[in-house]
Amino acid sequence: MGAVLIVKPSLDQRISLIAFGLAQIAMDLEPGIRMLIGADGVLHGMTHTILGALIIAAAVVLMAPPIGLLILKRWNKEATYYKQKWLVQSGVMTRISVVTGALFGTLSHVALDSLIHQDIQPLFPFSRANPMLGLLSHDTVYLLCFLAVALGLIAWVIARWRSSRTLADRMPAHDPVSVSSGFWKTWTWDLRSTWFWMLLFAATPGVLYGASLFAILALVAALLLHVPRSRSRISNKGGSAKENLKRLSIAVLIPTVTLAYVFTVDKQIPKYAMPIVKAIESFRAEEGHYPPTLEALRPGYLVKVPSVRATVFQPQIRYRVTDGKPYLAIPSAYGDAFAAHEYDFSANAWVHYQ
């Protein structure tokens, strides 16, 4: 937070601390998930590029206002209750503050991490070079961030104490934070139920398990439920045709993006599973037979079973030896319920059965 606190006193209402904080959380989701699943090597992938940062910033711009307004409401209520009116904030998140906070949050994150992490390629896909790596040491970067937090926080407190008391005095004791009308309200707050259910039933299974079934069902349900309503000009309990069209857009977008992610991840399974194949072949070359189980490969041939899918929970790898012939298969999200990536040891190739 040091990067934003050092500029907050001068930019004030033109940059949102909440949007900046949400951007930091969003940026660290990928390395966090990779650490949870035990991914080796690269922790900072596409999200830690300039292009990825811009995409994440756009998502934060959409999601920050409804979340931020709830936080502001609670903050102002607590500040008023404890009679600290100088801490009361404006109840409106302006578009410029959200955009500035989101962009500054994601781009500064990439810049700072590029200084100290070797696996970051900030210019990808245009270049794999990292011209910023090593310009400052790891300890220096953290020291500068700490100093920025301390100095920025002091400057912000002083600025708030001197300039915000008038705003606090004008605000009623229990003034609810208003959700301003416009783009943010109509596309986020008014449609929050659609966002919630689509993210829960379509995106969450895809990110956690690499499952495509729920996203497909959500997409089909969206088309069946919302298309007829969107074509109608008559308002009903579900809202006007215009509102239904917005809900349809969200209900189609989230499952579609989820399916694109799941299928892309699924295609990488053979690549990530190759260390298992090599370990099995090495075992056979030295022992004269295939290992009875994957556990027999540890630790001499395989330190640990690698993560084969970029999801939080890994699929169950099926391996057995029957009549001296090995069988290695990994469930696939692309195809029916019995789809799998199977390795043909005689042909030395992966086969995708759908």
Predicted pLDDT at 230: 57
Establish whether the linkage from the previous residue to 299 is cis, with ω within 30° of 0: yes
Classify residue 5 as exposed, middle or buried by CB count within 10 Å of its CB (0-12, 13-18, 19+): buried
Confidence class for position 350, pLDDT limits 50, 70, 90? very high
Asked if pLDDT for residue 63 goes beyond 80, the answer is yes
Confidence class for position 278, pLDDT limits 50, 70, 90? very high
Confidence class for position 164, pLDDT limits 50, 70, 90? low
Query: What is the DSSP-derived secondary structure letter of residue 321?
Result: E
Asked if pLDDT for residue 72 goes beyond 70, the answer is yes
Task: Give residue for tokens 């790596």.
Answer: 133
- What tokens does 148 get? 């920025």
Which of 244-248, 306-310, 319-323 shows the lowest per-residue confidence on average (mean pLDDT)?
244-248
In 3D space, the residue among 216, 177, 197 whose CA is nearest the CA of residue 65 turns out to be 177
Higher pLDDT, 218 or 158: 218
Mean pLDDT on 47-64? 90
For residue 330, the cross-strand partners are: 341
Predicted pLDDT at 4: 64
Which amino acid would we find at residue 281?
E
d(Cα 225, Cα 231) in Å, to the nearest integer? 11
- List, in order, residues 6 or more apart from 195 with CB less than 8 Å away: 188, 250, 254
Predicted pLDDT at 85: 74
List alpha helices for the chain, DSSP H.
Answer: 2-5, 8-11, 17-27, 29-36, 50-81, 95-116, 138-163, 165-170, 183-184, 192-198, 204-209, 213-231, 241-267, 269-287
> Per residue in 221-265, pLDDT tens?
888 876 666 555 444 544 566 777 888 888 899 999 999 988 888
Computed over its alpha carbons, how large is the radius of gyration of the chain? 26
Task: Give residue for tokens 């109840």.
Answer: 91
Predicted pLDDT at 127: 79
Predicted pLDDT at 182: 60
What is the DSSP secondary-structure string of 99-119? HHHHHHHHHHHHHHHHHH-TT
> Per residue in 323-347, pLDDT tens?
989 999 998 887 666 789 999 999 9
Alpha-carbon 27 to chain mean position: 7
d(Cα 136, Cα 142) in Å, to the nearest integer? 10
What is the DSSP secondary-structure string of 122-152? TTTTT----TTTTSS-HHHHHHHHHHHHHHH
> Per residue in 180-212, pLDDT tens?
456 667 777 778 778 888 888 888 888 888 888
Higher pLDDT, 53 or 183: 53
SS (H, E, C) 184-211: HHHHHHCCHHHHHHHHHHHHHHHHHHCC
d(Cα 304, Cα 154) in Å, to the nearest integer? 48
d(Cα 36, Cα 313) in Å, to the nearest integer? 9
Confidence class for position 9, pLDDT limits 50, 70, 90? low
Classify residue 138 as exposed, middle or buried by CB count within 10 Å of its CB (0-12, 13-18, 19+): exposed
The proportion of the chain whose per-residue pLDDT surpasses 70, expressed as a percent, equals 83
> Per residue in 23-38, pLDDT tens?
999 998 888 887 777 6
Mean pLDDT on 161-187? 54
- What tokens does 210 get? 């690499």
The pLDDT mean for the chain works out to 81
What ranges do the domains of the chain cover? 2-177, 192-267, 269-353
pTM: 0.49
